[in-house]
Chains A and B, each alone.
Chain A
Amino acid sequence: MVVIIAAVATYYIGTKYIFDPRLVALIVLMVSTILFVVGFIISQSFERLAEANKIKSEFVSIVSHQLRTPLSNLGWAIEVLMSGKLGKTDHRQFEYFVILRENIVRMNELIKDLLMVSRIQTQTLFFSEKEFSLVELVQELIQDFKVVAQASNVNVIFDQPQNIPLVFADPFKIRQVVENLLDNAIRYTQNKGEVRIKIETQGNRIYFAIQDNGVGIPQKDQKQIFQRFFRADNVMKYQTQGSGLGLYISKSIIDKSGGKIGFISPKGQGSTFWFTIPILKAKV
């Protein structure tokens, strides 16, 4: 279509300024040929890019499978050893089993994150949207994190909001986002700290915010906070574990869910991370 339009336009312009019809025909032919070749090269590039993305996605899928298989072997074998059914383990042996198990969990989480990043980049991340209650999801997660929060001496406060409408998104993906933000808030809040969660309706969206009084994000690092593998320098001083993928994944999920995500982190005042997602669509 572009080639045809360009040919017609060239002919029209050519006949206006050039009197030799053979020269006009030649110019039209040259312009059409050039555009055709350029179009062909561009479409081939897109096809090669799509093919490369497909190969990359399959490669990552296969590699993650190969990495997870021995981890599953290890994880289940340790579970059997820790169960005591093969004989009693003493306290020191049990401690080492706990170390093994925690590191297997850590590696599995990293593989899961890398797989997710690969799917985001190749645009093969699947979303299964449905109606659900963000309030109930947050309540469940706070319960799940209760032990961790207590161990970190962090108080998690959730002002139970009333009459919050259901949202329309993929609940498993949004759960991952809230989990990541809550985990970060607890992890980077120092002893006897406080994490406060708020949910409210803002027009046709639900607004979620999580505020901590932790280490905050230095001004110089704030622009990069949602980039892959980025970890702020001050965070590295307190907590070296972490892949630097959580916020990148969270932002990708919220963006693709039709929402927005952001944060504020004034100097010395901790951080507030927030996101918005659409309210349940009206049924037709």
Chain B
Amino acid sequence: MKKILIIEDESALQKTLGDVLSQNGYQTKSALDGETGLKLTQSEKPDLILLDLILPKLHGFGVLKRIKENPETKKIPVVILTNLESMQDIEKAMELGATNYLVKANYSLKDLLIKIKEVLGEQV
């Protein structure tokens, strides 16, 4: 069973995402801030990380940078899941090594699941 780490400070969104991913056969772990997210990345070694950008304690870009600088975690695909959509943020995320940059407002849960399966190399 593949493991997905959700780093998202909105507890309602975290719950919804967690429930839907569990219903679709994924194991999930969650963090409400950047520092906890980083710790869980290192301890759990998930198959995929869903990472928000506006986070308490450590900004999403800071989390992403450290994940990609650590040889033990740099290969974990990180999908940015945020409501920021400036070109500067998108470019920065891709430069830091994000696999995808998804704007929450533009994605239904169904479409998000399809994207997750694509990133994990699963049949859609």
**Contact across chains for A68 and B83 when beta carbons are under 8 A apart:** yes
Q: Contacts of B104 on A, CB cut-off 8 Å? A: 68-69, 72
Q: Contacts of B109 on A, CB cut-off 8 Å? A: 76, 79-80
**Contact across chains for A72 and B13 when beta carbons are under 8 A apart:** yes
The stretch among B15-23, B30-38, B39-47, B63-71 that forms the contact with chain A is B15-23
CA distance A149 to B108 in the complex (A): 23
Given A61-B86, A65-B54, A126-B87 in contact, is the A108-B105 Cβ separation under 8 Å? yes
B72 located at the interface, meaning its Cβ lies under 8 Å from any Cβ of chain A in the complex: no
Q: Contacts of A61 on B, CB cut-off 8 Å? A: 84, 86
CA distance A73 to B16 in the complex (A): 8
Given A68-B83, A85-B23, A126-B87 in contact, is the A77-B16 Cβ separation under 8 Å? yes
B1 located at the interface, meaning its Cβ lies under 8 Å from any Cβ of chain A in the complex: no
Residues 62-114 (chain B) with a chain A CB within 8 angstroms: 82-87, 104-105, 108-110
B12 located at the interface, meaning its Cβ lies under 8 Å from any Cβ of chain A in the complex: yes
CB 8 Å contact bits of B108-124 with A (1 = contact, 0 = none) = 11100000000000000
Q: Which of B23, B86, B105 contacts A72 (CB 8 A)?
A: B105
Per DSSP, chain B at the interface is: helix
**Contact across chains for B108 and A79 when beta carbons are under 8 A apart:** yes
CA distance A137 to B104 in the complex (A): 24
Query: In the assembled complex, how far is the CB of residue B15 from the closest CB belonging to chain A, in whole angstroms?
Result: 9
**Contact across chains for A73 and B105 when beta carbons are under 8 A apart:** no
Q: Which of A76, A108, A115, A124 contacts B16 (CB 8 A)?
A: A76
CA distance A262 to B108 in the complex (A): 35
Q: Contacts of A80 on B, CB cut-off 8 Å? A: 16, 19-20, 109
Most buried by A among B82, B83, B86, B108: B83
Residue of B nearest to A58 (CB): B86
CA distance A69 to B16 in the complex (A): 13
- Give me the interface of B with A, judged by CB distance under 8 Å: 10, 12-13, 16-17, 19-20, 23, 54, 82-87, 104-105, 108-110
22 A-B pairs with CB atoms under 8 Å apart are A61-B86, A65-B54, A65-B82, A65-B83, A68-B83, A68-B105, A69-B10, A69-B13, A69-B83, A72-B105, A73-B16, A76-B16, A76-B17, A76-B20, A76-B108, A77-B16, A79-B108, A79-B110, A80-B109, A115-B85, A124-B86, A126-B87
